[in-house]
Structure 1
């Protein structure tokens, strides 16, 4: 199969390209650095020539109120070009529970992206994943200072980016779902607990203070970000991932 991977140089996209290529598929890594721009349409006809699948793994450069405009522009551009090029399957990566957190602008924007895909002219698939292990350090930095890290006790079910990439690649080589597939990590943590585990693994002696008003995840209601029945659970645990990273 020929698969156009927009955002093919990013954390997930680069791994998806490698997985697809290892499986014998022609995976095209597409990004601004390769001369393809979803915001302007530059290079799209050539990028999609002969493609069976177009998967959009790009992300908004900001998480604020500018996010919806980014996703509307990039999705409209991709779907128009995909329809014109005869692409038979369009896919995106979204977030588990994204429609349950309207208070967060970026999450509203991802819901918009999903809705545009569903209403579009190309048979589609949506993969929803929980938060990545790789982003935990960034989340901690949002509400940290030299002595403490403040985190809410929001339940999360994080997953390794490699497991997400496997799920996306699997969907790309299959028939369009015409629906959504959820994937999540094997364990549920309170975010403040996850922070303590992370700091301990780093040898960081700062205290984690539970503060239900701290950071972006304070806006998440209840267990909105936890996978529901029917989700695919990855095997990699957070502690296994931390140990592997420490050994690299």
Structure 2
């Protein structure tokens, strides 16, 4: 099977491309650094020539203002048009758990636009919504920086290892399109403030976390369950403690 990965050099894309190769399928890696620009469309036709499945794991460089919306609107339209021209039989995209509940945020509104464009395209598709990656916990903590402390909400999340997300994307890519949405989460539930304390302690960082229910998450205030997946979500296996142990040894 010929599979194109758009966003192939990112956190998910690198793992995904390797998984696909190890599964015995042919991978075309597409990213800006490899000469494929999903915003302008440059290189897309060549990247999708002969492709049966495209996996869109692209992401906006900026999460604020209108930058994310501009990115996902242009990128998704170009990818869908190129997929149609190439006769791609399955459009698979990575999104975020909680997206419909968080559209007050610029970033999540942009992800909702991406999802809607895919659904409206009439192409066979699958959308995988994931919870936050362990690999992005540091960046999440930094959003709450306030002087010498971090102000973070106690809203619940079930973070997941990027490797587990890449594995499920590989599985979905080699199966029939769902024409719907799947979800994946990690096996454990934490408050955002709690996971920040765990992560900082593991890194011997003595800065304090202040629990602040009004602290925003990418520009939106959270209810306790806004970031939690539905009952039918795939539950990944790697625990936070195992991931921390491995990442500390790298």
Range into which the TM-score falls when normalised by the shorter chain: over 0.9
The residue matched to 1:13 in structure 2 has which SS? Answer: helix
Give the TM-score taking structure 1 as reference length. Answer: 0.96
Alignment of 1:89-108 (within 5 A): 89-108=90-109
Contact 1:130 1:184 in 2 (8 A): yes
Structure 2 match to 1:140: 141
Structure 1 match to 2:11: 11
The residue matched to 2:95 in structure 1 has which SS? Answer: strand
Deviation, 1:95, is: 0.5
How far, CA to CA, are the matches of 1:240 and 1:62 in structure 2? 30
- 2:145 aligned with 1:111, yes or no? no
How far, CA to CA, are the matches of 1:198 and 1:39 in structure 2? 35
How far, CA to CA, are the matches of 1:54 and 1:108 in structure 2? 23
Aligned counterpart for 2:223 among listed residues 221, 224, 229: 221
Q: Which moved more, 1:67-76 or 1:107-116?
A: 67-76
How far, CA to CA, are the matches of 2:213 and 2:83 in structure 1? 44
Structure 2 match to 1:53: 53
| Number of matched pairs | 248
The residue matched to 1:209 in structure 2 has which SS? Answer: strand
Structure 2 match to 1:85: 86
Q: 5+ unaligned residues in a row in structure 1: which ranges?
A: none
Structure 2 match to 1:38: 38
- 2:243 aligned with 1:235, yes or no? no
Q: 5+ unaligned residues in a row in structure 2: which ranges?
A: none
Deviation, 1:192, is: 0.8
Contact 1:104 1:219 in 2 (8 A): no
How far, CA to CA, are the matches of 1:230 and 1:102 in structure 2? 22
How far, CA to CA, are the matches of 1:207 and 1:72 in structure 2? 38
The residue matched to 2:145 in structure 1 has which SS? Answer: coil
Deviation, 1:142, is: 2.0
Contact 1:156 1:188 in 2 (8 A): yes
What root-mean-square deviation, in Å, do the aligned CA atoms of Structure 1 and Structure 2 show? Answer: 1.3
The residue matched to 1:153 in structure 2 has which SS? Answer: coil
